[in-house]
A and B are shown apart, each in its own frame.
Chain A
Amino acid sequence: MDISKYQELFKSEAAEILQTLNNLLVQLEKTPASRETLNEIFRMAHTLKGMAATMNYPEVVKLSHEMESMLDTLRINPSSVDQKVCTVLFEKFDALKQSVAQANPFTERRMVRINEEDKAVMAKASREGIKTYIVKIVLHKDCTMPQARSIVILKTLQESGKILNEAYVHNQIKTAHFGKSFIAFYMTKNDIEAIKKEIRSIQDVDLVDIGPMTAEESKSPAKVPNMPAIDPPVQGIRVSVERLDNIFNLVGELNINKTQLETIAQSTANTELSEHLSMTHRLISELQMEVTNARLFPLSSICDQFPRMVRDMAKSEGKEVNLEIIGAEIGLDRVILDEIKDPLIHILRNCVGHGIEIPDIRRQKGKQAAGLIKIQAKRENNRVSIEVTDDGNGMDIERIKNKAVSMGLITLEKASCLSDQETAMLTTVPGLSTACQVTEISGRGVGMDIVKMKVEHVAGTFLIETRTSIGCKFIINLPVSLAIIKGLMVKVHHQIYGIPVSNIVRIIIGDPGSIKDIPLVSLREVFGFKNEGTAGTIPIVIVKVKDKTVGLMVDGLVNQQEMIVKTLDKSLARAKGLSGATILGSGKVALIVDVPALV
């Protein structure tokens, strides 16, 4: 149930402030004497205190006040900030974060906005046995005339009592952002149950919360009189991700429907219909783009927690690590962000745990005592590359090779030919990755198979570059959005499959026997159909993933079309060579070829 719109607003704003505070504290630890950072932390703590005071969350007020006071002293003497001070600040921050999480408007007293005149009225009334209450009313979300309904409520209350600071209530309900809930200070001889009963008889009332206003509250008016009780949302509206997903799915269905209509228009040679459909096509494309963009979230939504995380990991390992994030504003589909969060954390853990050396060793090598991890995101057309670089020790190439040979993954001869990069990529092979995890033999590569799998799951690619003593680079390349890709529809054993056009280099129609320089894969074999001999010329789709090229042998080419990617359910998701499904114009389902899995 919608308990309180105030609470939601407070929490979302407080969460943003806490995130900024967290980052600032990490920054302060790196540059302790920075007056600028100290000022900013002070300002954040102060803002949070003001907000919490308005909501009357005493615990949050107390803790943010403590932090603010501490910062106030430190601002005068920035040079006194040291490791110890930072640790105390971090502890205070953690407590603050927890108290924000626990803050609840219905269990705590509310700060009120009562002026001197009203206080005098209250004092007089209380001598006559009239009590003052804080009344909070939430209207039903479907209420179509909330302002008018609120006035009916006020009028009803006024029939048997007095509203203090009526202007305050009118201010709440007249704003264009009126969130269908308001607070009133109400003086009456009636008891709480009687007031509730009266208000509940009014239509559109969803919730009534009434609490007595204590003498203490009325004696100490809000310390932040300039701050409104609720900050109306400044820009736009909040739309739940679920709703966006629904719209997105509907647009997808619409597109499929359009494709079906196009098929009909073609088969009936109806030019008028075709003309209208080309307009529909344009409109749907625009709609699709708008919805796709609306689903993009900034990378910062997952990266913001990294500085603190890296700091804590480094601390526990006795290392010093600085984290630099570039391009955090770049937007990615929410599904992709969800999927790559763990891989990124995994990579960072590797960088801190195994890559960056302890300060003494770094000094011996002539490096800065503090290691540097850089996350750099770049947008390239419809893709985003995220590079995580560390300036640590790099991977132990020889050890990885030895392990791979001993496990029978590669031969000794092949091992000697492998480049450093190819060797590094061996850590993404499940067996080796796991082996390394158990024995920590390579010192690197722990769980890299999972990273690769997760990245590829969202149509991304994963690469590792390593240079001994210089460091490692992990490159994740992702599509901005998952859902719609251009596909080449091909025929394999009387069935239609889609191959993402982004993977296709060229198409050859020729004799497979004549192609020597590119390895060939028969899709018939991959999907378990009988290979009825490939004599003569057949279409061969040449695909490329990173620097690997493979020719996919198919039975025939159908057409090119936009594919709305539908994920496969669990039982099919493990099927080799398939990454999803799409619906054809005819309404039939076509499976999408998982190209990275085949090269």
Chain B
Amino acid sequence: MAKKILIVDDSAFIRMALRDILTESGYEVIGEAENGWQAIEKFKELLPDLVTMDVLMADETGLEALKEIMKLDRNAKVLMVTAMGKQAMVVEALQAGAKGFLIKPFESHAVVAEIKRILKE
């Protein structure tokens, strides 16, 4: 069965790009969220196998949402998505339980490889 993925990003363009890449690679995008609070709600509701989480969204809630999700499920698999130059935030996210990160701009093969690695496929 296709693995379920929740995409969290405040940019509709990035959400669409990720959705296309993931769908093409056989994943099921079960939901999208455009801020941290939405992400937490959707996570509770949809129980995805993996979440892609923008580190720095407009309301700066990516890190908080990650921490909240880790509280809900300590085995949650969250992949951080970040722009260049935000290493400190990525390090914090990894220490808070994120399983990996992608740097924008990303290439589809890198996205798929990272997700496969985290999902141990």
Chain A residues with a Cβ under 8 A of chain B = 144-145, 147-148, 151-152, 155, 201-203
Contacts and interface: CB of A to CB of B under 8 A. Distances in A.
A144 B103 contact: yes
A327 B70 CA distance: 65
A145 B87 contact: yes
B90 interface: yes
> Which residue, of B84, B87, B95, B110, has the highest number of chain A Cβ atoms within 10 A?
B87
Nearest to A151: B94
A152 B87 contact: no
A148 B87 CA distance: 6
Contact of A155 (B94, B110, B116): B94
A155 B99 contact: yes
Task: Report, nearest first, the 6 A-B pairs whose CB atoms are least far apart.
Answer: A148-B90, A151-B94, A145-B87, A201-B117, A148-B91, A148-B87
Interface in B87-121: 87, 90-91, 94-95, 99-101, 103, 110, 113-114, 116-117
B97 to A, nearest CB: 9
A202 B113 CA distance: 8
A203 to B, nearest CB: 6
A144 B86 CA distance: 10
B87 A201 contact: no
B80 to A, nearest CB: 9
Nearest to A154: B94
A56 to B, nearest CB: 30
A152 B103 contact: no
Contacts of B95: 151
B109 to A, nearest CB: 10
B76 to A, nearest CB: 14
B91 A203 contact: no
30 contacts: A144-B84, A144-B103, A145-B84, A145-B87, A145-B90, A145-B101, A145-B103, A147-B87, A147-B91, A148-B87, A148-B90, A148-B91, A148-B94, A148-B101, A151-B91, A151-B94, A151-B95, A152-B94, A152-B99, A152-B100, A152-B101, A155-B94, A155-B99, A201-B113, A201-B117, A202-B100, A202-B117, A203-B110, A203-B113, A203-B114
Contacts of A145: 84, 87, 90, 101, 103
A327 B103 CA distance: 51
Contacts of A147: 87, 91
Given A147-B91, A148-B90, A155-B99, 16 more contacts: A144-B84, A144-B103, A145-B84, A145-B87, A145-B90, A148-B87, A148-B91, A148-B101, A151-B94, A152-B94, A155-B94, A201-B117, A202-B100, A202-B117, A203-B113, A203-B114
Contacts of A201: 113, 116-117
A329 B55 CA distance: 51
Interface residues of B, number: 15
Interface of B is mostly: helix
Contacts of A203: 110, 113-114
Contacts of A202: 100, 117
A439 B61 CA distance: 88
A152 B101 CA distance: 8
B52 to A, nearest CB: 15
A531 to B, nearest CB: 67
Nearest to A198: B117
A203 B117 CA distance: 10
Nearest to A149: B101
B98 to A, nearest CB: 9
A202 B101 CA distance: 10
A144 B104 CA distance: 11
Contacts of B99: 152, 155
Contacts of B91: 147-148, 151
A471 B99 CA distance: 76
B14 to A, nearest CB: 18
Most buried by A among B91, B95, B114, B116: B91
A205 to B, nearest CB: 11
A148 B91 CA distance: 5
A146 to B, nearest CB: 8
B61 to A, nearest CB: 20
Interface in B30-60: none
Nearest to B90: A148
A157 to B, nearest CB: 13
Nearest to B91: A148
A151 B99 CA distance: 10
B58 to A, nearest CB: 22
Nearest to A148: B90
A145 B94 CA distance: 12
Contacts of B110: 203
Contacts of A155: 94, 99
Contacts of A152: 94, 99-101
A148 B99 CA distance: 11
B41 to A, nearest CB: 27
Nearest to A201: B117
B88 to A, nearest CB: 9
Nearest to B89: A148
Nearest to B93: A148
A207 B108 CA distance: 23
A145 B116 CA distance: 20
Nearest to B101: A148
A148 B103 CA distance: 11
A84 B119 CA distance: 69
A147 B101 CA distance: 12
Contacts of B87: 145, 147-148
A144 B102 CA distance: 11
A203 B90 CA distance: 15
A155 B99 CA distance: 8
Contacts of B116: 201
Nearest to B97: A155
B95, B99, B100, B114 — which one has the most chain A CB atoms within 10 A of its CB?
B100
Contacts of A151: 91, 94-95
A345 to B, nearest CB: 50
